[in-house]
A and B are shown apart, each in its own frame.
Chain A
Amino acid sequence: MRAIAFVKSILDPEAPPGAIRFDAGKALGDVPQVLGPYEGNALELAVQIAEASQGEFRAVALGGPEQEAGLRKALALGAAQAMRVDVPSGFHDPLDTARQLKAAADALGGADVYLFGRQAGDWDQGVTAGLFAGLAGLPLVPLVQAAEVAGAGLKVRREIAGGYEEGEIAVPCVLSASNGPGTLLRLPKVKDVMLANRKPIELRAGAQSGAGFRVSDLKASVTSRAGRRIEGDLKAQAEGLAQELRRAIPGIGGGA
């Protein structure tokens, strides 16, 4: 089976508050670029599918040189090929992105399984897998928590409200990966990381249309509320909290 994992490197989302600042439509900060967590889940599924089917997987990213962090990780985990669609760093229109990723995938000869993270942690678009599936006319399995090769297709587990759903799907198909029992990204061996640093990353010239979404403004969110504290010893805090809960939720307490 052939798989393509679409990977994206982002400013480390675990960076402390304030480490990333927003100015002139850009996110700035002395923060390392890391593979996005959900793209890591997608990459893990690609590795598993390639291993189980004795097939292979490739990795594709779109952006500037900062995108090579995720591609190098894919190479260290056994990607047969890594390709970067070369466009300027920063925001990209989501439909344009999906079109360019599809063109890159076609240039690589296509695949049986196309894997995306459910949402990149920079612009939080969460739409690329769906747009890609819509453009390609392929079925999309959202929020995949585990996948295994089953005959000529896949058995997948996907998140649904209040639980999960399992079943089989034929290929070709598109999966958007989420965190779950079967998607935790393995660590590459140190030797493979070093070897990956010497492997080539193929560059494909990007062709942004210039149409679609454009950033007009980007600013830090304000999440502040009143923040009143209930002070005192534990008993006083518990009584104050119980009072607040009774006020907010009529009918509770008194019979517990």
Chain B
Amino acid sequence: MMRVGALVRGDDQSALEVLSLARALGGDAAETYLILAAPAAQHAAAGAARAVVLEGIADADPAQLLAAAQALIGAAPPDVLLIPDGPLFEAVGAQLAGSIDRPAARDVGSVAIEDGRLQIVKGAFGGKAEVTLDAGEGAVLGVRQGAHQADELPQAAPQVLEFAQPAPLLSGRRAVRDASGEDLGRAKVIVSGGRGLGSAEAYRSLREVANLLGGALGASRAAVDEGWASPSQQVGITGQKVAPEVYLAIGISGASQHLSGMSGSKVVIAVNRDDKAPIFAAADVGVVADWQALWPELRRALAGG
């Protein structure tokens, strides 16, 4: 019988999805580990069948998160450890796996245990393909956001461990927020722009759209490489993977690397002047138009209520 565990931080949607998946695979015996900054009592409802809470984690520093994860899983890690594929996996997932001599994979969609062997499906070739892997008898897996349902989970009173927080990874560190300072991973609406916009000025016009829609501003890698947007705004397989309620893609052609990062969006709306752009095949609603011509009309239409 494979031992299944989940390592999550906080109780956001991706954490609940991973906790639900762990219970689906491991049943009531699934081991869940929470890394939390806030008092444990606030998180008793985080869905942990057997939870251990570490306090004193003030931010997402990789060295501190890794030490916390190692303290939580202890000397007998579960065979399969599930982690939401995002900042937590980026910070600790693979390094934790290496430290316990386990293989690791991320961008994992489906996970199953068949005849005592782990079977996973994950993205490959920049989102152009999906690969099914026989992952043997254990692994640390980064689970794609939006790939699993978040079930109703039983409440539990977690055990709280003392934790001696180590020094951060970088000394003399200084965090610099982008002008927007937005966390795309939590945004309900994302307005993203790509090279098809043609200029930095056109990209900047998307800020007004984002404000109007109550959303955050994202970008394709091409827009980041052009210098119109900062790397932290990049959506894609190697940028942020997002799953908002609405994803509005403007001037984005739809390279597979980008599509992989936003495929979990509930509704995708695309505006592009090229009617053959691949983005239209990945959109629920498409508008073939030049954005700079369309935007004044759209602003009027939205204002007209």
Chain A complexes with chain B: yes
> Which residues from 213 to 229 on chain A have a C-beta closer than 8 Å to any C-beta of chain B?
213-221, 223-229
**A13 proximal to B (CB < 8 A):** yes
- Number of residues on chain A facing chain B (CB within 8 A): 92
List residues of chain B with CB within 8 A of the CB of A152. Answer: none
**A112 interface residue per 8 A CB criterion:** no
Q: Which of B119-133 contact A (CB under 8 A)?
A: 119, 122-133
Q: Nearest chain A CB to B103's CB is how many angstroms away?
A: 4
Q: Chain A nearest CB: distance from B150 CB in Å?
A: 21
Chain B residues near A100: list those with CB within 8 A. Answer: none
User: B residues touching A (Cβ–Cβ < 8 Å)?
Assistant: 60, 62-63, 87, 90-91, 93-107, 119, 122-136, 139, 168-178, 180-185, 189, 212-215, 221, 224-225, 230-232, 237-238, 240, 245-246, 248, 256-257, 259-260, 263, 267-269, 271, 278, 280-289, 293-294, 297-305
CB of B297 within 8 A of CB of A131, answer no
Distance in angstroms between the alpha carbons of A119 and B168 in the assembled complex: 24
Cβ contacts A to B, 8 pairs, < 8 Å? A124-B237, A128-B94, A133-B95, A134-B99, A221-B130, A230-B286, A235-B301, A245-B248
The listed residue (B170, B175, B177) touching A141 by CB distance below 8 A is B170
Count of A-B contacts with CB under 8 A? 305
Contacts of A139 in B (CB 8 A): 63, 169
Contact with B along A84-106 (1 / 0, CB 8 A): 00000001011110100000000
Q: How far is the CA of A238 from the CA of B297 in the complex (A)?
A: 6
A229: B residues at CB distance < 8 A: 280, 285-288
Is B124 a contact of A124 with CB atoms below 8 Å?
A: yes
B104 touches A162 (CB 8 A): no
- 3 smallest beta-carbon distances between A and B, as pairs: A134-B98, A130-B94, A167-B170
- Digitize A188-232: 1 where CB-to-B-CB distance is under 8 Å, 0 elsewhere: 000000000000000000000001111111111101111111100
Q: Would you call A160 an interface residue if the criterion is a C-beta within 8 Å of the partner chain's C-beta atoms?
A: yes
Beta-carbon nearest neighbor of B300 in chain A: A238
Q: Is the CB of A140 within 8 A of B212?
A: no
Contact A118 B298, CB 8 Å, known A95-B98, A123-B131, A124-B122: no
